[in-house]
A and B are shown apart, each in its own frame.
Chain A
Amino acid sequence: MSNTSRRPEKRTDEIHEVITSVNRYNVKNIPLLEEYVKSQCNSYSASSNDLQANLALLKLYQFNPELLNLDVVLNILVKALTTLPGNEFIMCMYLLNEQLLNDDMLVKLLELKEMLETARFEGFWDMVLNDPQAKELTDGVKGFEDSIRTMIADTVSLAHQSASSEFLMAALNLDESDLQEFAEQQSWEIKHDGLVVLPLHKENVAKSTVNSEQVQFEHLTKIIGSASEI
């Protein structure tokens, strides 16, 4: 997952200038930043999400509520959904306000978010594919489904060494042949009995460790200092 404070490749110098200076409070920059949100949504990759720029736009909305464009806000949030379980989504939420929470679309979006965060992936896919409002929301972001799929795969691989293919198909919303293809991309191995073996890494190996104490040299300076006095 990308570092939130670093500059994404797609950010132009003009936008970088705006959001790193006091110019970020200038309402004249709203169209520029809105356009940038659109270009993030048109890009397929989840890493195109530029949190810093989007927060700057939300801040302009916060200071100038009459200029708030709800569609753009929703786009920002849907895009941020693809970066879960990171904290980008809530950081955007903190800049909104109580009134916005009454909006139907936003309520729907929060439902989607909650399903992802509580690992109810089947319910999530059901909603994205069958609920017209949810469909409308996510259609605005190119490659939304693929980004979410990768995200779910990452989550599953945090906890699993192996999982049944039925579970994975449901969680990722893939049929058997698609799963095969997806597994290859992720270098997962599908066994004959339908069990999918995931590569091991730090997080999905249960290893008990004892954190032993580490003493920094500077903590000893006083003792060494007084020892030399004796």
Chain B
Amino acid sequence: MYQDNYDDYNNEIDVEAVIDTYTGADDFDESELQADIGEKQFEQQQLLQLQQIEQKQIIEGIKAIPPPVCDFLGYFCRVFTQKNSGKVAHIYEQQFNKLSERFYSKQSWPDPRYVSVLVNNDGIFMILYRELYYRHIYSRLQVTLEERILSFENYCELFNYILNSDKPLSLELPNQWLWDIIDEFIYQFQTFCAFRNNFSKKSAQDLELLKNSPAVWDTISVLNVLYSLVSKSCITKQLHVSLHGGDVIEAAGEYGSSQLYKMLGYFSLIGLLRVHCMLGDYNLALQSLENIDLGNHRALYTRVPACHVTLYYYVGFSYMMMRRYADATRILAAILSFISRTRQYQSKFFQFDVINKKADQMYALLAICMSLSPSRVDEHTHSNLREKYGDQQTKMQRGGEEALTTFQDLFLYSCPKFINPNLPDYDSIIVSSAEYQAEAATESENTTSKKSKFELQNYQLKIFMNEVSLQLIVPTLRSFLKLYTSMKLDKLAAFLDITTDELHNQLLVYKIRANQFKFNPNSSSTGTNLLDGEYSTSTDIGFAIDNDVVYIAETKTGRKYADWFIRNSTKLLELVSTMESST
């Protein structure tokens, strides 16, 4: 435990002394006050009184902090100011969560005002503490509007501090933390968008406050932060150079050479992917990743598991929405196989649950994609998929109404939260909510709020389902085609119980749907741009119509002997080495 590390730390915190220095700094100019008369003096007395009350509050507040947490915070601040990055990482990933579990599972961490006095620090450490403080509230408790606004302001302070520094800050934070900052920033933005568009159960004050603070969690400001971090770190140039050759240090520049800026810039690219995806701009989403090579097993994103998973999830989802099902399948299968292979290591990470939930959503996406464009994935992922979504897959392939509802359910379960970038019309809502209250028409209020909440989800769903519905004839047709190598059109139509014209039409649709734009990792012209690709048929059934006869041919995948051999020889190797080491 961390207590072991405290040996050189004085456990006795002289609260009073700390308060003195704290309030002393805030002391107002007395000479100015004395220039004024009676009234002012009265005010001053009041102020002093207030200050005393506040002081008392702070003392009480600090006393209320459990001693282990007090020790921890002092230790944390000290290690942080000493720039001991190894220990900071340990605190961040382990101890903070352990203490959250132990003391703060149902309440927030100590008020930053008290902590600031306790550790006698009001700089960057406190900004970061507040980031943790609000993040903890978001993850475990009900968030009030004030907290949402304060958290936003804290992020602004943090990013201003980082971006507006004259020279690169010498601050170093664990990659995991940096990723979590970007991730949480976007998460809070997304929940705020949902929050401001959900008008039920909102008090008039809250609405008024929302109306008066349009800049809070404004979409453009959020994008601006991400774009600024990207440009400050020259990350695009750095990645470009590392892919195509050139002077990496020169490309990185002054700021980009620092781990803080580089990683924030890198994670912001993935943040942009996510935000654009939430706005329905899948094209721009994938464009953000222009110089990130998804084929590179040692790429920066692999350093943080949550980042790795997020990246693949949004890329897979974007591909799916863009009707590039083969690409989506490839991406999703790759990450799912990675997750299941590394399961044993990941159970140690504190974000294990989050990753598991995402994995489950990705299996659902994979089920959708594979129903729309049948293809093969590796054995292991395939059997996991069958286990989780086997029933749904059968339903989706059967066609009809039931298939559509299954597609819909899986989509809603696995899609990201979409956001409306604009402010709602608060004035009309304030009026109408007053009316509602007058009429006490709770029922209708509920339905409208529900509607607005799901409207965006539904719009994206609608467009997607329209694509899906075009494809519903494909599975049945495919199962029939599989049986023959050549067939008269009229005869096949009779089997399917449709007219020849109808069959001809379906065959054309089959071809249209099978012809997908596909990324080709082997093609030299495509490079790493995820939007690139070429049209090719992705189906295992090829056919050609020669006037009134259709010729059919199946593409089969041979057995993978080498894969089996390689995997088992590695297994044997491990077995032998464990046996040797145990003897």
Q: Which residues of A contact B (CB under 8 A)?
A: 1, 3-5, 22, 25, 51-52, 55, 59, 62-63, 65, 85-87, 90-91, 93-98, 101, 110, 114, 117-120, 155-156, 158-164, 167, 195, 203-213, 215, 219-220, 222-223, 226
Inter-subunit contact A91/B551 (CB<8 Å): no
Q: Which 4 A-B pairs have the closest CB atoms?
A: A119-B508, A208-B553, A206-B553, A5-B531
Q: Is B455 an interface residue (CB 8 A)?
A: yes
Closest to A193 in B: B547
Contact partner of B563 among A156, A211, A213, CB < 8 A?
Answer: A213
Inter-subunit contact A117/B512 (CB<8 Å): yes
Inter-subunit contact A5/B545 (CB<8 Å): no
Contact partner of A95 among B223, B281, B512, B529, CB < 8 A?
Answer: B281
Inter-subunit contact A1/B535 (CB<8 Å): yes
Closest to B507 in A: A159
Inter-subunit contact B463/A159 (CB<8 Å): no
**In the complex, what distance in Å separates the CA atom of A204 from the CA atom of B470?**
22
**In the complex, what distance in Å separates the CA atom of A162 from the CA atom of B566?**
47
Hey, which chain B residues are within 8 Å of A1, CB to CB?
Answer: 517, 535
Inter-subunit contact A87/B470 (CB<8 Å): no
Inter-subunit contact A118/B470 (CB<8 Å): yes
Contact partner of B460 among A94, A114, A158, A219, CB < 8 A?
Answer: A94
**In the complex, what distance in Å separates the CA atom of A212 from the CA atom of B421?**
49
Hey, which chain A residues are within 8 Å of B148, CB to CB?
Answer: none
Hey, which chain B residues are within 8 Å of A25, CB to CB?
Answer: 220, 223
Contact partner of B463 among A5, A51, A93, A156, CB < 8 A?
Answer: A93
**In the complex, what distance in Å separates the CA atom of A160 from the CA atom of B505?**
12
How far is the CB of B390 from the nearest CB of chain A, in Å? 25
Hey, which chain B residues are within 8 Å of A85, CB to CB?
Answer: 512-513, 515
**In the complex, what distance in Å separates the CA atom of A110 from the CA atom of B463?**
11
Inter-subunit contact B515/A163 (CB<8 Å): no
Closest to B525 in A: A3
Inter-subunit contact A210/B557 (CB<8 Å): yes
Q: Are A4 and B531 also in contact (CB < 8 A) when A94-B281, A162-B546, A211-B555 are?
A: yes
Hey, which chain B residues are within 8 Å of A212, CB to CB?
Answer: 558
1/0 contact string of B449-466 vs chain A (CB within 8 Å)? 000000100111011001
Hey, which chain B residues are within 8 Å of A205, CB to CB?
Answer: 542, 544
Q: Is B321 an interface residue (CB 8 A)?
A: yes
Hey, which chain A residues are within 8 Å of B552, CB to CB?
Answer: 206
Q: Is B262 an interface residue (CB 8 A)?
A: no
Extra contacts besides A91-B322, A120-B505, A161-B544 (10): CB < 8 Å: A59-B284, A63-B220, A65-B422, A93-B463, A94-B282, A101-B462, A117-B512, A156-B508, A208-B553, A211-B555
Inter-subunit contact B517/A86 (CB<8 Å): yes
Inter-subunit contact A158/B511 (CB<8 Å): yes
Closest to B547 in A: A162
Inter-subunit contact A215/B517 (CB<8 Å): no
How far is the CB of B219 from the nearest CB of chain A, in Å? 7
Q: Are A161 and B281 also in contact (CB < 8 A) when A208-B555, A211-B555 are?
A: no
Q: Are A155 and B511 also in contact (CB < 8 A) when A3-B532, A63-B422, A206-B544 are?
A: yes
Inter-subunit contact A5/B459 (CB<8 Å): no
Q: Are A208 and B554 also in contact (CB < 8 A) when A25-B220, A91-B322, A117-B509 are?
A: yes
Inter-subunit contact A117/B281 (CB<8 Å): no
Q: Is B125 an interface residue (CB 8 A)?
A: no
**In the complex, what distance in Å separates the CA atom of A7 from the CA atom of B507?**
34
1/0 contact string of B496-529 vs chain A (CB within 8 Å)? 0000000011011111110101000000000001
- Report the contact-size class of chain B (Cβ under 8 Å from the partner): 35 or more
Hey, which chain A residues are within 8 Å of B573, CB to CB?
Answer: 222, 226
Hey, which chain B residues are within 8 Å of A114, CB to CB?
Answer: 466, 470
Inter-subunit contact A52/B511 (CB<8 Å): no
**In the complex, what distance in Å separates the CA atom of A219 from the CA atom of B560?**
14
How far is the CB of A210 from the nearest CB of chain B, in Å? 5
How far is the CB of B379 from the nearest CB of chain A, in Å? 13
Inter-subunit contact B321/A94 (CB<8 Å): yes
Hey, which chain A residues are within 8 Å of B224, CB to CB?
Answer: 22
Hey, which chain A residues are within 8 Å of B462, CB to CB?
Answer: 98, 101
20 A-B interface contacts by CB (under 8 A): A3-B533, A22-B227, A90-B321, A91-B282, A95-B280, A98-B458, A101-B462, A110-B466, A118-B509, A155-B508, A159-B544, A161-B546, A161-B547, A204-B544, A206-B552, A208-B555, A208-B556, A211-B558, A223-B570, A226-B573
**In the complex, what distance in Å separates the CA atom of A63 from the CA atom of B462?**
21
Hey, which chain B residues are within 8 Å of A5, CB to CB?
Answer: 287, 529, 531-532
Contact partner of B281 among A55, A101, A156, A213, CB < 8 A?
Answer: A55
Closest to B473 in A: A118
Closest to A171 in B: B508
How far is the CB of B55 from the nearest CB of chain A, in Å? 47
Contact partner of B555 among A87, A117, A164, A209, CB < 8 A?
Answer: A209
**In the complex, what distance in Å separates the CA atom of A113 from the CA atom of B282?**
21
Closest to B322 in A: A87
How far is the CB of A65 from the nearest CB of chain B, in Å? 6
Closest to B286 in A: A5
Inter-subunit contact B322/A90 (CB<8 Å): yes
Q: Is B562 an interface residue (CB 8 A)?
A: yes
1/0 contact string of B282-300 vs chain A (CB within 8 Å)? 1110010000000000000
Hey, which chain B residues are within 8 Å of A209, CB to CB?
Answer: 553, 555-556
**In the complex, what distance in Å separates the CA atom of A28 from the CA atom of B421?**
18
How far is the CB of B57 from the nearest CB of chain A, in Å? 44
Residues of B441-481 at the interface with A, using a CB-CB cut-off of 8 Å, are: 455, 458-460, 462-463, 466-467, 470
Q: Is B351 an interface residue (CB 8 A)?
A: no
Inter-subunit contact B566/A219 (CB<8 Å): yes
**In the complex, what distance in Å separates the CA atom of A159 from the CA atom of B551?**
10
**In the complex, what distance in Å separates the CA atom of A4 from the CA atom of B352?**
38
Residues of B530-552 at the interface with A, using a CB-CB cut-off of 8 Å, are: 531-535, 537, 542-547, 551-552
Hey, which chain A residues are within 8 Å of B128, CB to CB?
Answer: none
Inter-subunit contact A195/B547 (CB<8 Å): yes
Inter-subunit contact B508/A63 (CB<8 Å): no
Q: Are A160 and B544 also in contact (CB < 8 A) when A118-B505, A213-B563 are?
A: yes
Hey, which chain B residues are within 8 Å of A87, CB to CB?
Answer: 322-324, 517
Inter-subunit contact A210/B470 (CB<8 Å): no
Q: Is B561 an interface residue (CB 8 A)?
A: yes
Q: Is B384 an interface residue (CB 8 A)?
A: no
Inter-subunit contact B459/A97 (CB<8 Å): yes
Inter-subunit contact B279/A62 (CB<8 Å): yes
**In the complex, what distance in Å separates the CA atom of A5 from the CA atom of B533?**
9
**In the complex, what distance in Å separates the CA atom of A95 from the CA atom of B562?**
46
Q: Is B569 an interface residue (CB 8 A)?
A: yes
Closest to A94 in B: B280
How far is the CB of A121 from the nearest CB of chain B, in Å? 9
**In the complex, what distance in Å separates the CA atom of A195 from the CA atom of B545?**
13
**In the complex, what distance in Å separates the CA atom of A93 from the CA atom of B547?**
36
Hey, which chain B residues are within 8 Å of A161, CB to CB?
Answer: 544-547
Hey, which chain A residues are within 8 Å of B459, CB to CB?
Answer: 96-98, 101
Closest to B280 in A: A94
How far is the CB of B292 from the nearest CB of chain A, in Å? 15
**In the complex, what distance in Å separates the CA atom of A120 from the CA atom of B551?**
22
**In the complex, what distance in Å separates the CA atom of A95 from the CA atom of B276?**
11
Inter-subunit contact A55/B562 (CB<8 Å): no
Hey, which chain A residues are within 8 Å of B515, CB to CB?
Answer: 85, 158, 203
